[in-house]
A = this chain, B = another copy of it.
Amino acid sequence: MNIELELLQTILRENDIKPTFIRLKILDYIEKNKKHSDTEEIYLAVKKEIPTISRTSVYNALDIFQEKGLIRPLFITGNETRYEIELSPHHHFLCKKCGIIIDLDMEYEYFKKKTIEGHKVIDIQGYFKGECKNCLKGPKSKKGE
């Protein structure tokens, strides 16, 4: 067991999640991989190390992590749910051309607001959609074609 996994183990324990190997590996993947992965991608990645793992275990682990606030789900594409490690609140940009999801660094005053128009705010998600910097540069930088 390396140091990183031990740290993750501690994080899980602190959040009342039993640190099973599967959970560690799943959280480890989400943590290292800075993308916004969907369940299938996580499943395939962890499968390389744990070939017997089932999709259900991935769903289960993600559900627990989410309940405990370790990860945040993104419903940006409208298709599959994507996940990222829960860090300080930030918005996301989805490129409609190449599909990349980019974290935005902007700060907005309402990140600090606890209520809005009388409603109690627990979570905020801001999705910007359009064409990313890279795709704007021209057709030569297209990927996957």
* A73 to B, closest residue via Cβ: B78
Interface segment, one of A22-30, A34-42, A44-52, A102-110: A102-110
Within 8 Å by CB of A136, from B95, B120, B132, lies B120
Which B residues are in CB contact (< 8 Å) with A81? 78
| Number of this chain's copies in the complex | 2
Instruction: Number of A interface residues at 8 Å Cβ cutoff, please give it.
Output: 34
With A73-B78, A108-B108 given, is the CB distance from A116 to B129 under 8 Å? Answer: no
Residue A96 interfacial (CB < 8 Å): yes
Interface check A11, CB cutoff 8 A: no
Alpha-carbon separation in the docked complex, A110 to B106 (Å): 10
Indicate if A60 sits at the interface (CB-CB under 8 A).
no
